[in-house]
Structure 1
Amino acid sequence: MTAIAQNAPRLRAGADHVESWFVRANDPRSPRAVWIKATVLTSSDGTALAQAWCSVFDGRRTHAWCADIPLDAARFETHSIGQDIAVGPLTLSLTGRGGTTGGTLSDAAQTVAWDLSFSTVAGLGEPMSLLPTDRLLDAPVPSNKLVTPFPVLTCTGWLELQSERWDLTGWHGMQGHNWGREHSPEYAWGQCVFTDARDGEPFAVVEAASGRTRLAGRASPLLSMLVIRRGDEEFRFDRIVDLWRQRPRLEFPAWTLRMRGRHGTAELRMHAEPEQMVCLAYRNPARATSYCLNSKTAAVRVHVAPINGNAFELRSPHGGALEFLVPHPVASVSPIV
């Protein structure tokens, strides 16, 4: 499936539906990152809302902003060369090879503004899905779908935080899209672009998730998926209902995932310091609000032992996106946005 097809809106007016498009950019040489997201929420009772999000991470300094916009004042359009999204002060344009985003968000404490362009990296950056087949994107299970139209991006542009200006040229990141009837009851999700220590260029990427879905009104066991790309190799661990071959441990602020599959074995370890995270209130159309404990500067280690080939390890001290979705806030991550 192409990036344009993966990013196509799945909006369903008059039904319970949550959908987001998001972009992340990381400085390969320091623990700085920016995360931008456009969300739409509709409910079967006729209510509808769009949200513009931005979170900034700079070592131990983090801040997040959210603006609520009536859905009829927002724009989610698809056309032959991509998508155009506008949610209040946030714009996001997506094509088959990258895109742009810009905007300004303010709260009582700070203002953030950005103008970011991004383009895919050949090979590593081709569209990715954790699901084993695209047919599951239209199936009732899992109840929340995730695709990654651009797993590896290279960036240019700038971000202004108060009087400070960041040059985003040479930063790397990703762009994702998710949708469903509601947020998953619980999940951990992670993604990391690994860059060469000498020249800062991407050479590998990992994405993984462990989450629950609703089956007959009840939360399922944790179901996990993991995909690693290194150079022109791809290692997939995507038999999501094969619980014998997956060992997820969600122990906030750490997540460990061990997987076995047709490509061998893999172990993912991610960890973030709570004071370097933000807590985001994620509304559900017909259920209680969930809380996303969100880091974009997590430490990552991946060990892969292929069936055919030598074992290898990937590490990043601060390049990982790590999220936990939980039913209640955690005191060590504050404030709630």
Structure 2
Amino acid sequence: MNVTEARFPAMAAGYESYYLRACHPDGGLGVWIRYTVHGRPGGRPTGSLWCTLFEESGPTATKVTVADLAADDWLRIGGAHIGAGSATGSTGSSTGDAAWDLRFTGAEPLRHLPLRWLYRAPLPRTKPVSLHPVARFDGAVTVGGREIALSGWPGMVGHNWGSQHAERWIWLHGMGFAGTGESTWLDLTFGRVRVGGRTTPWIANGALSLGGERMALGGLGRARRPRVAETPEQLEFAVPGREVVVAGTASAPRERIVGWVYADPDGSEHHTANCSIADLTLRVARPDRAPVNLHAAGLAAYELGMRERDHGIPIQPFTDG
């Protein structure tokens, strides 16, 4: 499976995203950029560029949607491009221009799903891959006329696609843990899927890298089922793997969270709350070893996708799909 290859040219309907996040090494300042393709049944796909600058005073978000897109290297949307080692683009949004010119290098890909045939199967409907579960970024991002230089900023690069978003989902990414190097990181997705009129319990997939040792987390079956308690501002979780359990808390104050509308190919919508400068605390438990405690302040990403509308997070004034 070529994890970087664009899937949208072969989709009758669905969505696909390439995305990146990068944070100042000291935390508290970060950027989240998405290149997204959306196609409804019988319609022509459209491409969107999303850019959010996160800082302690609050997020600044901008987005533009165009019909000009191509599977060029990874993906080209209008004049914007993301491919091996680089990402460029601009939104030109009426709410405040954003532009970026970035270069990156990173770790080997992480396939979240535990079995490769699941990437070809109808379920799960979302197929996540981290092209670089941890990366380093150089270049510049400009938001509302303010230029921010990136020099060795830690981050990640991801890719997902599918026929429908999960009924409810969580994305959690951690890096820059105090006292560790860049070979220690966490990358997890959680989903509740609608099947036969019912919604499944939470299913988690991903990995923890501890000093370069990758440990798969979650997976299929009751024994790998996570414990999850989530609100837009806080996540408490425990995820088992093979001879390891990772438990933790991710949190962010409401004013640092951005809210977006995510459209589904069937015409429905989710609200998504994301903070890419969240705090993350982990406890790693393994048999016959002392527990490992990890903390990253202002360097984690926590995203919750949901159907409800009464969550209290302001939603950005952009349509989707």
Asked whether the two chains share a fold, i.e. TM above 0.5, the reply is yes
* Identity across the alignment (%): 24
Q: 1:257 to 1:44 in 2, by over 3 A?
A: same
Deviating above 6 A after TM superposition, structure 1's stretches of 4 or more consecutive aligned residues are none
Aligned residue among 75, 81, 91 for 1:105: 91
Aligned residue among 266, 279, 292 for 1:286: 266
Aligned residue among 144, 159, 163 for 2:141: 159
Q: Give 1:308 deviation, angstroms.
A: 4.5
Mapped to 2, the partners of 1:244 and 1:230 lie a distance apart of 20
Q: Which runs of 5+ in 1 are unaligned?
A: 78-82
Q: 1:169 to 1:259 in 2, by over 3 A?
A: same
Q: Is 1:91 paired with 2:77? A: no
Q: Is 1:117 paired with 2:118? A: no
Mapped to 1, the partners of 2:105 and 2:245 lie a distance apart of 32
Conservation of the 8 A alpha-carbon contact between 1:196 and 1:202: no
Q: 1:152 to 1:14 in 2, by over 3 A?
A: closer
Mapped to 2, the partners of 1:116 and 1:88 lie a distance apart of 17
Mapped to 2, the partners of 1:251 and 1:61 lie a distance apart of 18
SS of aligned partner of 1:9:
coil
Counterpart of 2:203 in structure 1 is 223
Q: Give 1:114 deviation, angstroms.
A: 1.3
Counterpart of 1:80 in structure 2 is none
Q: Give 1:270 deviation, angstroms.
A: 0.8
Aligned residue among 62, 67, 73 for 2:64: 67
Conservation of the 8 A alpha-carbon contact between 1:33 and 1:296: yes
- The letter for the 2-side match of 1:32 is L
- The letter for the 1-side match of 2:312 is A
Q: Give 1:239 deviation, angstroms.
A: 2.5
Conservation of the 8 A alpha-carbon contact between 2:224 and 2:241: no
Mapped to 2, the partners of 1:84 and 1:209 lie a distance apart of 22
Counterpart of 2:191 in structure 1 is 211
Counterpart of 1:139 in structure 2 is 121
Q: Is 1:11 paired with 2:1? A: no
Conservation of the 8 A alpha-carbon contact between 2:261 and 2:316: no
SS of aligned partner of 1:331:
coil
Question: What is the CA RMSD across the aligned residues, in angstroms?
Answer: 2.0
SS of aligned partner of 1:135:
helix
Q: Which moves more between the two structures, 43-52 or 271-280?
A: 43-52
- The letter for the 2-side match of 1:90 is A
Q: Which runs of 5+ in 2 are unaligned?
A: none
Q: 1:44 to 1:245 in 2, by over 3 A?
A: closer
What does residue range 257-272 of structure 1 map to in structure 2 within 5 Å?
257-272=237-252
Q: Give 1:276 deviation, angstroms.
A: 0.6
Conservation of the 8 A alpha-carbon contact between 1:143 and 1:214: no
Give the aligned length. 317
Mapped to 1, the partners of 2:159 and 2:237 lie a distance apart of 23
What does residue range 175-186 of structure 1 map to in structure 2 within 5 Å?
175-186=157-168
Mapped to 2, the partners of 1:218 and 1:276 lie a distance apart of 33
Mapped to 2, the partners of 1:244 and 1:186 lie a distance apart of 18
SS of aligned partner of 2:134:
strand
Conservation of the 8 A alpha-carbon contact between 2:15 and 2:36: yes
